């Protein structure tokens, strides 16, 4: 059985193309992971997710521990067999979801106690319990339990939160059962403070992980601050391990982060937006609820090969969405996931060919963005 590993195959500036080897198959990076929070990517069959080009998906410890229960999933051979996804699965430790339960949770050095948002039942999530749950799920990539520092937070608050996460990271590493082809990732915290971010990287590298994630961003700080934080963080991260930016984001965020050396992403945006009638295209985002699409015979994106674009008009998709037909959510979700995978493919190709700068210029022009990534007055329709 092959060990878990990461190999760089090309670079262009800080951008990287690589390959992660796992027990459940390889992952080509930069990679976008569709979010399958509760054991399903909403509105998609597993085979359909694979057809978009996705090689890895994300599951969530918090939701799966509550329903159907990690032990139940384990009884069916793990999450891969339970949901019929044979490829790699990364599981979020549950820390972000628990931290968002304002008024329903209490944090201390041991971990977090909280009440379920489903039925109010009490639960405890420690670093050791989070790792055990992810083991039951048979996660290909396990994430350490961390405290997602709220925004805004003072330097003192962010530092205290980060250092607790580092202590939890060490406990997570001690609890992790190392097996060939499986990996454990640490999570860099520290708010928007460069010195805290670098301290977090140093502490995690001393513990030693198979990959390193940047957590605690895309929580309200805005793109400019997020990118400034990445500029201060990513160069300090180990170059021989995958770098994962958690919970990000819009297409322009992904492009900017790849240019800064990020290898992996996840976000609910493409699936959630699809269910709500928004499509991401090579010419910018479209709201298919708008009446202007009622009689439009054009496809969503003429360069996209997904079923929504290949077989249907904007007018038909507009009708499905206005009529609240399930097929509308299915087609729009498929399209958005296809667009995100196509974006990753194009970023890999541009990086490997040494033409990433030109690709980014063309991307911003086609999306109607200015040099700072903001929507311009001459944005295309």
Task: Fill in the DSSP letter of residue 248.
Answer: B
Asked about 12 being catalytic, the answer comes back as no
Q: Which of 44, 370, 359, 42 is nearest to 223 (CA)?
A: 370
Q: Which two tokens stand for residue 281?
A: 């295209």
Q: Which residue has the tokens 């106690």?
A: 113
Q: Which of 13, 19, 52 is nearest to 33 (CA)?
A: 52
End-to-end CA distance of the chain: 50
Peptide bond into 104 cis (omega under 30): no
d(CA 2, CA 338): 30
- Count CA atoms within 13 Å of residue 254 on its CB side: 28
Cβ atoms of 83 and 40 within 8 Å: the answer is: yes
Cβ atoms of 165 and 147 within 8 Å: the answer is: yes
Asked about 346 being catalytic, the answer comes back as no
Angle in degrees, CA 8, 9, 12, rounded to 5: 90
d(CA 64, CA 90): 13
Q: What DSSP string runs through 207-255?
A: H--SEEEE-S-SSSS-HHHHHHHHHHHGGGS-TTS-EEETTB--HHHHH
Pick the catalytic residue from 138, 210, 263, 266: 266
Pick the catalytic residue from 92, 210, 263, 342: 92
d(CA 10, CA 18): 7
User: Which residue numbers are catalytic?
Assistant: 92, 266
């Amino acid at each position: 059985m092959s060990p878990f590993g990461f190999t760089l195959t090309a670079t262009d500036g800080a951008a990287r193309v690589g390959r992660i080897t796992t027990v459940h198959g390889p992952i080509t990076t930069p990679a976008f992971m569709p979010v399958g929070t509760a054991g399903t990517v909403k509105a998609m069959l597993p085979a359909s997710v694979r057809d978009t080009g996705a090689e890895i998906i994300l599951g969530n410890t918090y939701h799966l521990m509550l329903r159907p229960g990690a032990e139940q999933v384990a009884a069916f051979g793990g999450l891969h067999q339970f949901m019929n996804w044979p490829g790699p699965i990364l599981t979020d430790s549950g820390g972000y979801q628990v931290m968002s339960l304002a008024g329903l949770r209490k944090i201390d050095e041991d971990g977090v106690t909280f009440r379920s948002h489903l039925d109010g039942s009490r639960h405890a999530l420690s670093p050791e319990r989070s790792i055990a749950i992810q083991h039951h799920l048979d996660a290909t990539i396990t994430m350490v339990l961390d405290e997602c520092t709220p925004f805004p937070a003072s330097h003192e608050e962010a530092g205290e939160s980060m250092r607790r996460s580092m202590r939890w990271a060490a406990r997570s590493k001690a609890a992790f059962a190392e097996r060939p082809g499986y990996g454990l990732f640490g999570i860099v915290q520290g708010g928007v403070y460069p010195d805290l971010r670098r301290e977090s990287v140093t502490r995690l590298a001393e513990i030693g992980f198979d990959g390193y994630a940047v957590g605690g961003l895309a929580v309200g700080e805005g793109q400019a601050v997020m990118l400034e934080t990445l500029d201060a963080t990513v160069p300090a991260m180990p170059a021989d391990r995958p770098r994962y930016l958690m919970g990000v984001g819009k297409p322009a965020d992904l492009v900017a982060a790849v240019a800064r050396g990020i290898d992996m992403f996840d976000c609910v945006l493409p699936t959630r937006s699809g269910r709500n009638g928004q499509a991401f295209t090579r010419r910018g985002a479209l709201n298919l609820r708008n009446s202007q699409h009622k009689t439009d015979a054009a496809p969503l994106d003429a360069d996209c090969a997904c079923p929504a674009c290949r077989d249907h008009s904007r007018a038909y998709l507009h009708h499905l969405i206005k009529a609240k037909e399930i097929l509308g959510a299915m087609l729009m979700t498929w399209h958005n996931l296809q667009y995100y995978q196509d974006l990753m493919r194009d970023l890999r190709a541009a990086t490997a060919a040494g033409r990433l700068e030109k690709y980014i210029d063309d991307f911003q022009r086609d999306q109607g963005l200015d040099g700072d990534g903001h929507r311009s007055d001459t944005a295309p329709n």
